[in-house]
Structure 1
Amino acid sequence: MGAAIPSFGQSDCARLIEATSSGELKTMEKFFDKGVSPNCVYQVKNGPRTALNAAARENQVEAAKLLLSAGAKVDLKAKGDATPLIAAARNGHTEVAMLLLNNGAKASRNVSGNGNALIAAAKAGDYELAKALIDKGAKVNSNVPRDGTPLLAAVNGGNTDIVKLFLAEGANPNRSSDGDGSPLIMAVKKGNLSMVDYLIAEGADVNKAVDGDASPLIMAAKKGNTGIIDLLIKEGADVNQEVPGDETPLIAAAWNGHLEAVKTLIAAGADVNYFTREKGEIRSPLKMAKKEGHKAVVAYLNQQGAK
């Protein structure tokens, strides 16, 4: 028969995790001597937790080293929780993350609801870790449900250096994700003109529409960002592009009351009488501006011959 597995209460596991979170190495060693497993899982209000995950969250480098030397599984995650590597990356704890990587943590592991380590590093703006993860096999074009892609995360955070890194490593500038749109649409949402310019230069499609997120020009029109509108038009965006459920750029600008955007679009050739049908309702720039009470926009559209 094999050796008996030491028994211990959940309270012991909880106290080990607490000691780990505080970096109390001697206390941790006492629990190991007592037979508490470094891989024990403790149930808390927000879900189950492990000691190595706690070390990663709290940036306890020495505690993480002690756990690993005691036999902690480097990729162990409790149900519904992130892996230690993702937890470290998410919190910007580069040293812990590098320790985990160097002890065999899987750089490319995806966890639904928690993304992956590369997405987390991109969100945290951690260039050093992002580069190390790619070197260890993390995929720059990974797409995790509800968490998007690494490039989207970097664009969302305005982390230009990481965006450049991902594109240099082969990230697709046109890859979209449900709920987050495309990298270019994300940059437009954020009002980041220089990012928009850079993405276009790297091959982003100015007319690529995404379900539920319009197109880059329609998004810019919704936001009323004339600088981005000008750039997109200069780069070939269609001023009369219709996207089901998101209208046209001019309808979007008029509907949201952005007079300068309306002027810019009309000057670029937008049709003031172009209308769409949505669930039986006719929508035109003039009708939607009137509906929302945007008097200045209504007056200008009338001057331009809107009906």
Structure 2
Amino acid sequence: MGNSLGCSASGERLVSAARDGDLVEARMLLEFNPSLAKYSTFRGLNSPLHFAAAKGHNEIVTLLLENGADVNLRNYCGQTALMQACRYGHWEVVQTLLIFRSVVTRADYLTGRTALHFAAVGGHVRCIRLLVADFIPSAPYEVITGVGSKSSSDSSLDRRHDHALTKFINKPADGGITALHMAALNGYFDCVQLLLDLGANISAVTFQYGTSANLIGAGSTPLHYAACGGNLKCCQMLLARGASRLTLNCNGWLPYDVAKIWRRRCLESLLNPNSELSLPVFPLSNYLSLPLMSILNIARESGLQSLIAVDDIDLCAVCLERACSVASEGCGHELCIQCALYLCSTSNTSSEIVGLPDRRSAGIEWLLYRQRSSAL
């Protein structure tokens, strides 16, 4: 790829600034030559955007995108900045990239992994929730969980409109491994719970062919992978949602056999085909209640730049510095777009509670956001 847009030395300086988080240097270079935002280094064929996203330097990511960096640019492996941010769990960077319309469904060239796979393998549940934000309508907590609804058709998770979501969640990477396989293997309970609630196929099996080394065996289900990983709660969750103890993989192994081979003795009684152990009752993931679609769309329409506060415009109820641009339905608090984005991506209760949490403890995550026309 190289660099045809400007001085190579300046481009390498921008790469260094993006990698090291030097916002002052990056801003100075881009003011001198905005086209440097599209520079790709000769060594790793990564753009400054890739480096900033991988390191979690959100302000530099925003600066590069505002100066024309291609949010969907691929590196030599076919990876986008979104994949890099998800790999390392930088959810604020993921949020920014999504506001600039990064494509979540792209897969890399080497392993066929999407950003969802990278987030799942690292257990970055907030990144997973952000990646599916455009598939799930924002709704109050009661609607998300079905509390108080007249029928299942009233739920915002109704499967009438989420064929695209189901296809995305169940997209196999190299060897047929799905995001659910990865999360189950590594014992990330919150990720397993959220993926199942989003429609992950609990019976998906890895391919009988492929280039990935598969020590568990081809034809393995997420329960086989969870058995290898050894996390009790992940196995309980999968079984509670309908996973079968009796599925054989291509090695002729049951999940019970995998647990024995990998010496996961704490799982043997649970995974025994004749087990009569009772299973816990797991609620829906509380990450579903975050109203991300609403707030991301508002940010796309109004931009990330907050309004300058003046006497006739109210200050944000959170930061008390920037002008309000959105208001919450329910409590009526008015917020700037940046604080609303932060709260919508961070407020949640523990997903491991048995039973539904009290609405008061859910805080701001059950609120809807609307644009304040008077402030725009």
TM range (shorter): 0.5 to 0.7
CA distance in 1, matches of 2:8, 2:252: 47
CA distance in 1, matches of 2:248, 2:186: 22
Aligned to 1:67: 64
Pick aligned residue for 1:169 from 185, 193, 198: 198
Aligned to 1:98: 95
SS at match of 2:41: strand
Greater relative contact order (CA < 8 Å, ≥ 6 in sequence): 2
SS at match of 1:136: helix
Pick aligned residue for 1:153 from 182, 199, 210: 182
What is the TM-score of this pair, normalised by structure 1? 0.68
CA distance in 2, matches of 1:55, 1:88: 9
Deviation per residue, 1:220-249 (Å, 9 max, x gap): 232344443332235579xxxxxxxxxxxx
Aligned to 2:230: 191
Deviation per residue, 1:68-107 (Å, 9 max, x gap): 1110011111221521011011111111110001110112
Instruction: From the superposition, tell whether residues 234 and 13 of structure 1 become closer, same or farther in structure 2 (CA, over 3 Å).
Output: same
Q: What amino acid sits opposite 1:209 in the alignment?
A: L
Aligned length: 231
SS at match of 2:126: helix
CA distance in 2, matches of 1:161, 1:41: 36
Aligned to 2:36: 37
CA distance in 2, matches of 1:175, 1:184: 10
Q: Give the C-alpha shift of residue 190 in structure 1.
A: 1.7
Query: In the alignment, is residue 23 of structure 1 matched against residue 24 of structure 2?
Result: no
Query: In the alignment, is residue 134 of structure 1 matched against residue 132 of structure 2?
Result: yes
Query: In the alignment, is residue 76 of structure 1 matched against residue 81 of structure 2?
Result: no
Equivalent pair of 1:112/1:146 in contact (CA under 8 Å): no
SS at match of 1:42: coil
CA distance in 2, matches of 1:198, 1:235: 18
Instruction: From the superposition, tell whether residues 212 and 136 of structure 1 become closer, same or farther in structure 2 (CA, over 3 Å).
Output: farther
Deviates more, 1:84-93 or 1:11-20: 11-20
Aligned to 1:112: 109
SS at match of 2:101: coil
Deviates more, 1:149-158 or 1:122-131: 122-131
Q: What amino acid sits opposite 2:268 in the alignment?
A: I
Aligned to 1:124: 122
Q: What amino acid sits opposite 1:72 in the alignment?
A: A
Pick aligned residue for 2:256 from 205, 217, 238: 217
CA distance in 2, matches of 1:54, 1:147: 29
CA distance in 2, matches of 1:102, 1:192: 35
CA distance in 2, matches of 1:226, 1:27: 55
What is the TM-score of this pair, normalised by structure 2? 0.56
CA distance in 1, matches of 2:95, 2:53: 11
- Extract unaligned runs of 5+ from structure 1: 238-307
Query: In the alignment, is residue 205 of structure 1 matched against residue 244 of structure 2?
Result: yes
Deviation per residue, 1:162-214 (Å, 9 max, x gap): 21111111111111224363211111112223322221221112122223583
Q: Give the C-alpha shift of residue 122 in structure 1.
A: 1.8
CA distance in 1, matches of 2:235, 2:253: 16
Equivalent pair of 2:5/2:39 in contact (CA under 8 Å): no
1:43-58 correspondence to structure 2 within 5 Å: 43-44=42-43, 47-58=44-55
Instruction: From the superposition, tell whether residues 35 and 207 of structure 1 become closer, same or farther in structure 2 (CA, over 3 Å).
Output: same
Instruction: From the superposition, tell whether residues 98 and 164 of structure 1 become closer, same or farther in structure 2 (CA, over 3 Å).
Output: same
SS at match of 1:111: coil
Q: What amino acid sits opposite 1:75 in the alignment?
A: N
CA distance in 1, matches of 2:239, 2:4: 60
- Extract unaligned runs of 5+ from structure 2: 136-164, 208-213, 277-376
Q: What amino acid sits opposite 1:152 in the alignment?
A: H
Q: Give the C-alpha shift of residue 113 in structure 1.
A: 3.2
Q: What amino acid sits opposite 1:216 in the alignment?
A: P
SS at match of 1:27: helix
**Overall identity of the aligned pairs, in %:** 26
Deviation per residue, 1:124-159 (Å, 9 max, x gap): 322222112112246211111158211112112211
